[in-house]
Amino acid sequence: MAPATQKRAAAKFYQEDIVQRKDDPNTFGVVLRCWQDAEDLPAPADNVDPLMRPLVQGEVGVSYFPRPVREIISEDKLDLVDRMYQPGDLLKRSVDDVRSGIVTSMNVRGRLEHAISGEKYPSWLTEHDVESAVEVDMGDYVVYNDWVGQVIEMFDEAWIEVTGGNLVRLPELSARLAIGEKGPDILPQPMSTVQGLFGFLLGSTRPSTADTVVSVKHTVLAISWLAINQSLTPEEAEAKPRPQRIWHGADLGKLTVLSRRAEEAVRVGDRVRIKNDTSVHTTQHGKSSESQGVITVDTYIVQETKSTVNVLWQDGTRDALDTRNTVPYLNPDEYDCWPGDHVVWKTEDSKRHVVVQSVNAQERTAQVLVVETGAIELASVLELDPHGTNDWSAVASSNDGLGVRRGDLVFIHREGTTNGVEPPMVPRIGEVEEWAREPPQVGADGHLGGWRRDMANIGTRIAENRGKEGSVEEPPLKRPEKGDTSLNWFGEVVDLHLDGTIEIVLPNDDKVTLPLNRLTRLYDSVEQFEDLWGDDEGTIDEGEDVEVWEMTEDGRWVEGAADDDDEWESAEEGEDEVMHDAMDVEDASGQWSPSTDTVIPSHAELEAAQPGDSRPASSNGRPQSPDVPQDAMDIEDEPEEGSSEWPWKRFEVLPEAPPDHAFYNTIPAQPSRQFLARLSKEYKALRSSLPDSILVRTYEDRSDLLRSLIIGPENTPYENAPFVIDWMLDANFPQTPPIAHFLSWTNGNGRVNPNLYEEGKVCLSILGTWAGDKSESWSAARSSLLQAFVSIQGLVLVKEPWFCEPAYEKLRGTEDGMVNSRLYNEKAYVLSRGFVRRALEIPLGGLEAELNWLYYTNGKLKKVLDDARALIEKSKATKEDTEADRELAVPRLSGGGIITLERTLVKLQALLDAYPGSGAR
Same domain, 456 and 496: no
Rama region for 478: left / alpha / beta (φ>0; ψ in -120 to 50; rest): beta
Contact 14, 34 (CB under 8 A): yes
d(CA 162, CA 148): 40
Beta-carbon contacts of residue 140 (< 8 Å; ≥ 6 apart): 150, 151, 257, 258, 259
d(CA 647, CA 456): 75
The gap from C-alpha 680 to its chain's centroid, in whole angstroms, comes to 41
- 723: domain CATH number is 3.10.110.10
DSSP state of 119: P
Rama region for 616: left / alpha / beta (φ>0; ψ in -120 to 50; rest): beta
Beta-carbon contacts of residue 665 (< 8 Å; ≥ 6 apart): none
Task: Please report, to the nearest 10 degrees, the dihedral formed by the alpha carbons of residues 888, 890, 892, 896 taken in order.
Answer: 170
Task: Please report, to the nearest 10 degrees, the dihedral formed by the alpha carbons of residues 4, 9, 10, 12 taken in order.
Answer: -170
pTM of the model as a whole: 0.82
Same domain, 719 and 855: yes
Same domain, 422 and 439: no
In terms of Cβ atoms closer than 10 Å to its own Cβ (0-12, 13-18, 19+), residue 395 is exposed
- 520: domain CATH number is 2.30.30.140
Same domain, 368 and 463: no
In terms of Cβ atoms closer than 10 Å to its own Cβ (0-12, 13-18, 19+), residue 464 is middle
Q: C-alpha distances in angstroms, 562 versus 598, 766, 780?
A: 21, 18, 9
Same domain, 359 and 261: no
**Cα-trace Rg, the chain:** 32
Q: Please indicate, yes or no, if residue 53 is contained in any of the structural domains.
A: yes
According to the model, what pLDDT value does residue 193 have?
39
According to the model, what pLDDT value does residue 278 have?
87
Contact 343, 385 (CB under 8 A): yes
Active site residue 34: no
Q: Please indicate, yes or no, if residue 577 is contained in any of the structural domains.
A: no
Same domain, 719 and 841: yes
Same domain, 777 and 750: yes
Q: Which of 918, 759, 897, 902 is nearest to 840 (CA)?
A: 918
For 302, phi then psi, to 5°, come to -75, 115
According to the model, what pLDDT value does residue 188 have?
81
Q: Which of 449, 429, 427, 432 is nearest to 440 (CA)?
A: 449
According to the model, what pLDDT value does residue 605 have?
33
For 827, phi then psi, to 5°, come to -60, -45
Q: Is the dihedral of CA 641, 647, 649, 652 positive or negative?
A: positive
Task: Extract the residue ranges of the chain whose pLDDT is less than 70.
Answer: 1-8, 40-48, 66, 68, 189-205, 389-400, 530-646, 771-775, 918-921
d(CA 233, CA 621): 75
**3-class DSSP state of 571:** coil
Sequence letter at residue 691? P
Contact 855, 861 (CB under 8 A): yes
Same domain, 694 and 778: yes
Same domain, 886 and 800: yes
Contact 868, 833 (CB under 8 A): yes
- Give the count of domains, the chain: 4
Catalytic pick from 34, 337, 763, 804?
A: 763
Contact 115, 301 (CB under 8 A): yes
Same domain, 784 and 699: yes
According to the model, what pLDDT value does residue 815 have?
87
Element (H, E) at 815: helix 815-841
Q: Please indicate, yes or no, if residue 750 is contained in any of the structural domains.
A: yes
DSSP state of 535: P
- 24: domain CATH number is 2.30.30.30
The gap from C-alpha 425 to its chain's centroid, in whole angstroms, comes to 21
d(CA 488, CA 512): 10
Q: Please indicate, yes or no, if residue 320 is contained in any of the structural domains.
A: no
In terms of Cβ atoms closer than 10 Å to its own Cβ (0-12, 13-18, 19+), residue 442 is exposed
List helix spans (H) across 72-222. Answer: 196-202
Same domain, 383 and 441: no
d(CA 657, CA 666): 12
According to the model, what pLDDT value does residue 772 have?
61
Same domain, 348 and 287: no
Q: Work out the angle at residue 31's Cα, subtended by the Cα atoms of residues 26 and 34, and round it to the nearest 5 degrees.
A: 140
Beta-carbon contacts of residue 765 (< 8 Å; ≥ 6 apart): 538, 582, 583, 771, 772, 773, 776, 777
Domain that residue 362 falls in: 327-426+487-531
Q: Please indicate, yes or no, if residue 537 is contained in any of the structural domains.
A: no
Q: C-alpha distances in angstroms, 165 versus 10, 67, 286, 622?
A: 50, 21, 7, 86
Q: Which of 294, 363, 316 is nearest to 335 (CA)?
A: 363
Rama region for 590: left / alpha / beta (φ>0; ψ in -120 to 50; rest): left
